[in-house]
Amino acid sequence: MKRAALEGVRVLDIATVIAAPWAAGIMADFGAEVIKIEMPGRGDTSRGMGPLKDGVSIRWPALGRNKKSITLDFHYEEGKKIFLELVKKSDVVIENFKTGTLDKWGIGVDVMRKANPDIIVTHVTGYGQTGPNKNLAGLGMPLQAFSGMTYLCGYPDRPPVQGPPMPLADYVAGLYAVIGTMMALYHRDFLKGKPQEVDISLYEGLFRMEESFVAQLDILGVNKERTPVSSGASCPIGIFKTGDNQWMTLVCSTNPVFDHLCDAMDRRDWLPKYAKAKDRLADPTPIMDAVTRWIGEQTWEEVKAKCDKAGVPVCKVMSMKDIFEDPQYAARNDILEVPCEEFGTIKMPGIFPVLTETPGEVKWAGPKLGSYNEEIYKNILGMTDEDLAGLKERKII
């Protein structure tokens, strides 16, 4: 039996809501033992986040998958001691409390390092661990605005719109938290370097993707404004409506793709005049109008067949219902059906990235609060039934 990619790595997930817990969840997908430490009685806030069915969160089974939930209250001295005992036997702590909170509780990085000099601590906060905003509260929507992304979403003659219908800042920060944690593990374990802290903010992951807009202001003196599509870089580009009322996307982000589009449309007469992007962008209206008409005169299947044959990337604007019925998603196991205590079974996104030798696995959906108390406290810390009963009675677990 093949070993999992992160087998032997133990992560303490003491975070809440999305970004940091999602990062820990990705590591759990690939075999890390992720112990989710939650407050007794209420647990992670995401357990109550909508959408809900009969008052139960339908997103928790995916957010909490592959994790071992235990309860522990850090506000008690005995709770802090138990936490530090777990730190001694772990590789990584992932947290997302406001900067300085763990120090106030008496379990900051310096204290953790006394318990385990090799511990890696990954912080996920709104503004990071430094700077004038470091102590401010942070959630995804305000931090998306701080990143500059919200300013760019929508139409120039209307107010900015929220942007994607999911907390993109949280998910992108979660990805960076995984990347940073894996780098720190590699540096510690393979390069024999010092254990380090990983400092992730909710805004910087989005800002990192705005390199062209940074350069525009710096080099061209242009402050990027809202546009309905990503104009100024490609032509043609946009969302178009077919003759059978399907929305689809098309973009010619390189000159060879535009050449292929000329084949698909039987418009070789556009070459060589429009062969280069700079020539198309100098006056994009004729091409955009022609492409809009061409797509609008055909069904989606007709457009797709011609573009596929010519090598032009196009896609229908997919709804979740479309995704559920799509053979590509099915072939790659992108949607998994997982047993779930609350709902019998529940569908959730699959394992990404796909690894050929050590693929990830969803072993269980988000567990009940504290359902791994016995396993973790007995097997890792050597506690007895009497110990657990006493901790529960004192509301420490």
| C-alpha distances out from residue 186 to 6, 120, 162, 183, 363, Å | 12, 11, 37, 5, 26
Give catalytic status of residue 170 as yes or no.
yes
> Could you tell me the strand order of the sheet in which 33-38 lies?
67-71, 33-38, 10-13, 92-95, 120-125, 197-201
DSSP 8-state secondary structure symbol assigned to residue 272: T
Q: Which residue has the tokens 């690894």?
A: 355
Dist CA 389 CA 397 (whole Å): 9
Distance in angstroms between the alpha carbons of the first and the last residue of the chain: 36
Tell me which residue of 124, 134, 127 sits closest to 96, measured CA to CA: 124
Strand partners, 70: 37
Read off the tokens for 1: 């039996």
Dist CA 236 CA 281 (whole Å): 9
Tell me which residue of 43, 14, 7, 9 sits closest to 112, measured CA to CA: 14
Among 29, 44, 73, 170, the one annotated catalytic: 170
Read off the tokens for 247: 């929305």
* Residues with Cβ within 8 Å of residue 281, at least 6 apart in sequence: 232, 233, 234, 235
Taken in order 290, 291, 293, 294, the sign of the CA dihedral is positive
Chain centre to alpha carbon of residue 167: 9
Quick check: 339 and 367 in contact, CB under 8 A?
no
Q: Which residue has the tokens 């100024």?
A: 232
Strand partners, 248: 240, 316
Dist CA 55 CA 51 (whole Å): 9
What is the set of active-site residues?
170
